[in-house]
Amino acid sequence: MEHPKQLLPDFNMRYRGKQNAPKGTSDAEKDDLPEFEPFKGALPRGPITSNDQYGLKLVKLDLHKSVNTREHRTDKFKHHDLIIRRGQKFTMTLTFNRPYDVSTDYAMLEFVIGKNSRSGKATYNIVLLNKCPYPDDCKNMWERGELNLTYNRISVDITPSAKSIVGKYHVYLTVSVPHWGKQRTDLETDIYVLFNAWCQDDDVFLNDEAQRNEYVLNERGIIFNGETNHVSSRPWDFGQFKHGVLDACFHCLNMSEMVLEDRKKVALVARRASQMVNALDDNGVLVGNWSGNYAMGTPPAAWTGSAEILLQYKRNSAPVSYAQCWVYAGVLNTVLRCLGIPSRVVTNFNSAHDTNGNLTLDIFVDEDGSMNRDYTNDSVWNYHCWNEGFMKRTDLNSKYWGWQVVDATPQETSKGLFQCGPTSVKAIKEGQVCLQYDGKFVFAEVNSDVAFKMVDKHGLWKTVQVNTSHVGTKIVTKAVHSNAAENIKDSYKYPEGSRADLATMAQATSFGCERDPFYRSSLQETDVDIELMAPAVQLGQNFYLTLEVQNKSLEQRTVQLSATCCVTYYTGVDYGTFKEERKLVSLGPSMTEKVNIEILANEYMGHMVDQGSLKFICVGKVQENNQVLGASKVVLLEVPILSLKLHGEVKVNQEMSVTLEFTNIFNVVLEHVNLRMEGPGEIGLKKKYYEYVSPGASLTWTESFVPDMPGTGGVVGSLVCPKLSHVYGELDFDAQP
Amino acid sequence: MEHPKQLLPDFNMRYRGKQNAPKGTSDAEKDDLPEFEPFKGALPRGPITSNDQYGLKLVKLDLHKSVNTREHRTDKFKHHDLIIRRGQKFTMTLTFNRPYDVSTDYAMLEFVIGKNSRSGKATYNIVLLNKCPYPDDCKNMWERGELNLTYNRISVDITPSAKSIVGKYHVYLTVSVPHWGKQRTDLETDIYVLFNAWCQDDDVFLNDEAQRNEYVLNERGIIFNGETNHVSSRPWDFGQFKHGVLDACFHCLNMSEMVLEDRKKVALVARRASQMVNALDDNGVLVGNWSGNYAMGTPPAAWTGSAEILLQYKRNSAPVSYAQCWVYAGVLNTVLRCLGIPSRVVTNFNSAHDTNGNLTLDIFVDEDGSMNRDYTNDSVWNYHCWNEGFMKRTDLNSKYWGWQVVDATPQETSKGLFQCGPTSVKAIKEGQVCLQYDGKFVFAEVNSDVAFKMVDKHGLWKTVQVNTSHVGTKIVTKAVHSNAAENIKDSYKYPEGSRADLATMAQATSFGCERDPFYRSSLQETDVDIELMAPAVQLGQNFYLTLEVQNKSLEQRTVQLSATCCVTYYTGVDYGTFKEERKLVSLGPSMTEKVNIEILANEYMGHMVDQGSLKFICVGKVQENNQVLGASKVVLLEVPILSLKLHGEVKVNQEMSVTLEFTNIFNVVLEHVNLRMEGPGEIGLKKKYYEYVSPGASLTWTESFVPDMPGTGGVVGSLVCPKLSHVYGELDFDAQP
């Protein structure tokens, strides 16, 4: 028996000898599959008997876009391609030049993602129009429902696996001629496959329609900020369905060169997204800036939504300036919802920062009661925003499935990729801090102790007070279908000091979270207490700080009090001390005394920083027994809000007018005032600039928008100037069809 | 009561408002602690009463280097500073200008590492000469033994915490004057602190003196390679105690900007070391190259040890060219042993590569039996080297403590830092693949299945055979105090097919390792078997490949056999096909037939690559029942060894001569021949170059070395030229004092 000798030596360097082929890392790159692919080593057994075998041609393709997207809840996307969710069937209709004969014809649809698609199992998917001859091997294929043949037209239901790669697939119709080769027709259409919270087999399945509507489909939200006793909020336009946002989200994953095979796994996608939303290391989306100097970009407080940021990033393939935590959280939320992962923005009040899993924040206090800046390097953020994504963590025990923390704000200063999470919220609650990813870091953010250390005459530091409940005092997120704050602290922590809480702390400590447990047991109880109190304060107001000193003993007590007043960033970092006061207080047995310190606007206004607040540290020394007392308090300065007013009724494709009003209630001139309004429609973002606004002056600014979708919507406004920021307003409307 | 008003506003941008101070990331940077540090806020209570309080001066410091290093097993280091291990006491003697009076004097030693040392707890360590007044706060300090006061001399025993940061500490003597400040004397000496396998409280504690001598102190080793049925070996000079190597190792950690606080934790240090030994992402030590073209650097096979590589890296702060897996493993082993972490080089035979935790490697075979290069992208390495480090993984359950895989070879192609491990070997054995770090990747390397897929007439692939025992066939390391190969496969895997093995596979699958379990159950049993056999082959020899075909049925069988012969890299990647053969075999019932295929040196020598081997893939089709058979075999080509001969006796500080001999046994001219010998002494590395060596010609090369330490030592030689590499030789000696 003789065969044609087909020696095809391939003596080249195949990827430098280390691998056969690189893996695809972008769904924007396309595999140039050949129009004709001969079967290698196929032995022709005579001439081809009939033209029909390869004369089959597609004349029309119908993707039933409006029906499919409605069923897949992707109809809000403004996109020319078909967008579907995995694990759910969609319908295609193919019209051929002649009837399809299953006994002689052999055609298949190929759904292909990225380069070198044939190497990976999930990057290359076949749907056979004929019956699959190898049921075992066909288990890996996308599922095909019954064929519906009508003369030369075939309707076919296709269900992409619930474990499909998310991204943009290119589609081919391929006709196989036995022992000869494959004839391929590029259908010149892309199909986007997203995560599916409605599909039980998908790892993002969320079994609650109201929650799915909020956490996947709601395009607008509320981000909470402020101070634990004084929660404020700002509106945010996530805009995940806006024109171009979907492609911008996949662009992020492509820029990070995330291997396509990994994009099947929701935990890995969420982790990569957290990495790509910050610019560090990898030219991700947003540059962080906490300095107050935003001249080279947009001040973090000016943004009103994510779409503008993501679109600018896609356009320039370069990071966008600037962000602080709520901007990172807003944009990451958009990316997650856009890809189909249920997600929400969470705000943690008194968030411990950058402690390398060490559970104690040390505040070093000099003998005179002022904080020692050279030694004190830990800080507590007034608030910090991160995200939660809902998913099955198939890499962890099922008790850790559910909400997972992901955080795009670059907090760690160590080298390595700036990414955080997903971390199971349930694992945090149980002290299981070593489960991947970044459990220790998140655990410390909500659980650290604050220790006051005071210097002695030899320069040694002595721990004088430990506060175990100062950190993670409140953890909130926007409620489902309401703008209220839902306190979800219980999902992160057991009640302070409860038996379960102690078990959690023991668990975390056993995994190497370093805490100094002796503090609680050996610290001396003091018989005098101090508490700091202040009213709600408007920026620019004078007010009184009250020091309440309580003598719990049955003897006379004389206390030397020393109060330091600083301006701090919302990150807890001090900007500067503007006032120091000393008071001597004498207290009879069981007496309580109040000392008022007047804080004048003139004292702090000159040193105000972006989103600054006031921090008061008070240290006391009891002369009778040398006991040392400590207390601190952060006072938030409230800013005015913008008023937004709607004129007339709101209808789809009709102009609507919105008027923004603002009055300068301060006795200083506001200079370089930037205003923004973000509303519905294709040209939804408007900006306006005022050189200055005099004290007492009011401004009004009217803009028009054209809603392009019926239903509820909103307009968000912001005002930013060097002396004043975080001024917002919003209004809701219901657009009639 | 009046106090001086000391308002010190600090209205600058403190690290851009985000943090108080950056963390130290290098032990080579020094904190410039002030010579005089006044106590801030200290309130002077009158003039200083006596000069004595601040007149105390150090006149002499004795670090007892030879006693301390002998006790700490660091006496082999060639270094001018004191090197100690953590958790173990060392002695210092301080001589003052006058007697030290504990009732009025107040002095302390400060051990300080990196910048901003005061911020971190472990970067700044105090040892008080006086009694510590706050026992609780002093728990964090390094321990001090009894003081030994003799007039103006104090001897003090100090025990650095067993959880200390490893690295270079700067030492100060500081005298405190109450209510005034600290007077600081820079002792102008550094103390290096390393991990301590001899200390029970250290996470690297290894309770076996023979093992500690091998895995921490042995400077030479054996790295195994070759092919699973034919294990070869090469000597390697780890050289962890050589001059400059210790500083080069810490330089790696500093280059990676590893936060100093993290350098307490052995798992994090080992992980960072695995990242820094390869050059990718972070300008680490070694550039990988598998191409065969090494003109721009040193061929991987030429290196004889790690010291030259690490010293070159330190000198240039730039990556060194070139490495393949055993070079990475050799250098990582040096770094780990040098830092005090018990470690060894491990070789895994038939190592599955880069499968993203997917447990099936697919080999696609065309109808004619040849491998389809377009579809086959997975590969099995003939062997792969990695390291194991011994440690308590305090982040994991104690059952996963012990040996941990760390791998510096950059294998993953996804973006992210190229680092692998530590992964608990015990966790791999139990299928606990989700425990950090990189468990899935290592699990797949030793456990993947190999599936043969054959194309049908429509171009569809059908699985025809699955081999579940082809991967991870042998896992070896050098035995303790012997050059033998110790098979440690049992520590990674239960016996194939055992009940425990099935449980492990089920466990791994439950954590998302994707395997196609149906293969085993539904694949058709064939009634004909093929096996490939070959003798041990010298490079340049002709030999016969034998196909043994066994008919297990009671009927006649006719088998169409097709064998493809390729040259492959040791990575399993094909370089090219040099021969294809077809044979038709007829077998009576229960008969076995052998078919020989002659392989001529001329056929493969022209296409030989660096460390290449021959791979044979044989596919058979049974004509009577259309069953498909598959088999593959790798044949290693043995290379000659170098002969090294010693002349005369070996004494410390005396010249010794070594002669290297090599004969070209091939019938081709060897061109551009590079020789190396690495021996003892300061100038331990010698190189020589020959333009060519004719067929049959011999070369001899004699060099002299000067041993600088008594005891056992060795010389390692290597020969590299484009046509021939991996030619080694070594000799051992015992240097007399």
* B576 confidence band (pLDDT: 50, 70, 90): confident
3-state SS of B683-705 is: CCEEEEEEEEECCCCEEEEEEEE
Contacts of A116 in chain B (CB under 8 A): 377
Tens of pLDDT, residues B666-710: 888 898 999 999 988 877 889 999 999 999 999 999 999 999 888
Q: Name which of A178, A378, A609 is nearest B457 (Cβ-Cβ).
A: A178
ipTM given for this complex: 0.81
CA distance A158 to A144: 5
Among A63-72, B32-41, B388-397, which stretch is predicted with the lowest mean pLDDT? Answer: B32-41
- pLDDT confidence of residue A49: 46
Which residue from A182, A511, A579 is facing B395, i.e. has the nearest CB? A511
> Please, which pLDDT band fits residue A210 given cuts at 50, 70 and 90?
very high
Mutate to test the interface with A, among B25, B33, B40 (most CBs of A within 10 A): B40
Asked if A537 and A637 count as a contact pair (C-beta separation under 8 A), the reply is yes
- The average confidence (pLDDT) of chain B is 86
Q: What is the pLDDT of residue B522?
A: 53
Chain A with chain B: Cβ pairs closer than 8 A: 307
The mean-pLDDT minimum among A43-52, A131-140, A522-531, B411-420 falls in A43-52
Interface test with B, best of A12, A18, A179, A418 (most B CBs within 10 A): A18
Task: Output the pLDDT for position A10.
Answer: 37
Which residue of chain A comes nearest to B177, CA vs CA?
Answer: A458
Catalytic site positions of B? 325, 384, 407
Distance CA A373, CA A324 (A): 24
Instruction: Judge whether residue B642 has pLDDT over 80.
Output: yes
Contact A356 B415 (CB under 8 A): no
CA dihedral of A179, A180, A186, A192, whole degrees rounded to 10: 20
Inspect the interface and report whether the beta carbons of B512 and A265 lie closer than 8 Å: yes
pLDDT at residue number A364: 83
| Mean pLDDT, rounded, for B335-348 | 98
Nearest CB to A119; choose among B259, B353, B377: B377
Judging contacts by C-beta atoms under 8 Å, the chain B residues touching residue A6 are 368, 580
Q: What strands, in cross-sheet order, belong to the sheet with B402-406?
A: B423-424, B402-406, B379-391, B343-353, B474-478, B485-487
Phi, psi angle pair for B359, to nearest 5°: -95, 15
Which residues does A239 contact at the CB level (< 8 Å), separation at least 6?
A: A219, A245, A305, A306, A307, A334
Residue A427 pLDDT greater than 80, yes or no: yes
- Kindly indicate the confidence band of residue B18, based on its pLDDT and cuts at 50, 70 and 90: low
CB A41 within 8 A of CB B370: yes
Asked if A574 lies within 8 A of B14 by C-beta distance, the reply is yes
In chain B, which residues have their Cβ closer than 8 Å to the Cβ of A603?
none
A384 is catalytic: yes
Nearest CA in chain A to B575: A11
Sole residue written with tokens 């004084």: A230
Model pLDDT, residue A13? 38
Q: What is the DSSP string of A230-294?
A: EEEEEEEE--TTSTTHHHHHHHHHHHTT--GGGGG-HHHHHHHHHHHTB-TTT--SEEE--SS--
User: Whole-number mean pLDDT of chain A?
Assistant: 86
Could you tell me which residue, A557 or B278, shows the higher pLDDT? A557
Q: What is the largest CA-CA distance in chain A?
A: 116
Answer whether residue A288 shows pLDDT above 80. yes
Q: How confident is the model at residue B608 (pLDDT cuts 50, 70, 90)?
A: confident
Q: How many CB atoms lie within 10 A of CB B146?
A: 8
Residue B729: enclosing H or E segment and its boundaries? strand B724-735
**Out of A199, A249, A325, A338, which one is annotated catalytic?**
A325
Structure tokens at B612: 């290449």
Residue A3 has pLDDT above 50, yes or no: no
Longest dimension (CA), chain B: 116
Confidence of residue A164 (pLDDT cuts 50, 70, 90): very high
pLDDT band at B416 (very low <50, low <70, confident <90, very high): low
For A681-692, write each residue's pLDDT tens digit: 877 889 999 999
- pLDDT reading at A400 higher than 70: yes
Confidence band (pLDDT; 50, 70, 90) for B515? low
For residue B241, give Cα distances in angstroms to B56, B80, B218, B333, B338. 39, 13, 10, 12, 7
pLDDT band at B415 (very low <50, low <70, confident <90, very high): very low
pLDDT for residue A179 is more than 80: no
Per the residue annotation, which of A202, A384, A566, A726 is the catalytic one? Answer: A384
In the prediction, which pLDDT does B13 show?
37
Q: Which of A118, A136, A580 sits opposite B7 (nearest CB)?
A: A580
Residue that wins the pLDDT comparison between B498 and A412:
B498
pLDDT at B33 over 90: no
Question: What average pLDDT does range B154-160 have in this prediction?
Answer: 95
Higher confidence at residue B638 or residue B386? B386
Query: Do residues A595 and A534 touch, judged by C-beta distance below 8 A?
Result: no
Give the chain A residue nearest B182 (alpha carbons).
Answer: A459
CB-CB neighbors (< 8 A) of B373 in chain A: 10, 20
Residue A428, min C-alpha distance to chain B (Å): 15
For residue B429, what pLDDT is reported? Answer: 95
Chain A closest-CA separation from residue B370 CA (Å): 8
* Window from A420-429, A615-624, B405-414 with minimum mean pLDDT: B405-414
In this prediction, residues B55-84 reach a mean pLDDT of 94
pLDDT beyond 90 at B426: yes
User: pLDDT at residue A611 above 80?
Assistant: no
User: How open is the CA angle A502-A508-A511, to the nearest 5 degrees?
Assistant: 145
In angstroms, rounded to a whole number, what is the distance separating the alpha carbons of residues B266 and A210? 47
Backbone angles phi, psi at B119, to 5 degrees: -70, -40
Q: What share of chain A has pLDDT > 90, as a percent?
A: 48
CB-nearest partner of A17 from B434, B458, B609: B609
- Residue B364 gets the label, from left (phi > 0), alpha (psi -120 to 50) or beta, of beta
pLDDT tens per residue across span B111-130: 999 987 765 578 889 899 98
pLDDT band at B606 (very low <50, low <70, confident <90, very high): confident
Q: Which residues of A touch B460 (CB under 8 A)?
A: 126, 128, 133-134, 137, 176
Task: Tell me the HSE value of A375 on the side-chain side, using a 13 A CA sphere.
Answer: 22
Q: Which of A227-236, A437-446, B58-67, B447-456 has the lowest mean pLDDT?
A: B447-456
CB A499 within 8 A of CB A529: no
pLDDT of A4 over the 80 cut: no
User: Is B18 in contact with A367 (Cβ distance < 8 A)?
Assistant: no
Asked whether residue A719 carries a pLDDT value surpassing 80, the answer given is: yes
Indicate if the pLDDT at residue B358 is higher than 90. Answer: no
Nearest-Cα residue of chain A relative to residue B611: A17
Mean pLDDT computed over B65-71: 96
Q: Which two tokens stand for residue B226?
A: 């070759």
Average pLDDT over every residue of A563-570: 85
A626: chain B residues, CB-CB within 8 Å: none
| pLDDT value for B21 | 65
- Whether residue B57 has pLDDT greater than 90: no
B597: β partners: B545
pLDDT at B131 over 80: yes
pLDDT of residue A291: 78
Statement: residue A357 has pLDDT above 60: no
**Closest residue in chain B to residue A289, using alpha carbons only:** B16
Q: How large a percentage of chain A has pLDDT more than 70? A: 90
CA gap B121, B262 in Å, rounded = 12
pLDDT for the residue numbered B53: 54
| Inter-chain CB proximity B289 and A16 less than 8 Å | yes
Chain-centroid distance of CA B28 in Å reads: 23
What are the pLDDT digits (tens) for B197-216?
999 999 999 999 999 999 99
Cis status, amide bond into B22, omega within 30 of 0: no
Residue A5's pLDDT band (cuts 50, 70, 90): very low
- pLDDT (tens digit per residue) in B269-282: 999 999 899 887 67
Rounded to a whole number of angstroms, the CA Rg of chain A reads 31
Does position A571 have pLDDT exceeding 90, yes or no?
Answer: no
CA-CA distances (angstroms) from residue B317 to B36, B333, B407, B522? 36, 20, 22, 56
Q: How confident is the model at residue B236 (pLDDT cuts 50, 70, 90)?
A: very high
Q: Which of B41, B121, B261 sits opposite A367 (nearest CB)?
A: B41
Measured between CA atoms, the residue of chain A closest to residue B511 is A395
- Interacting residues of B496 by C-beta distance below 8 A, sequence separation 6+: B468, B469
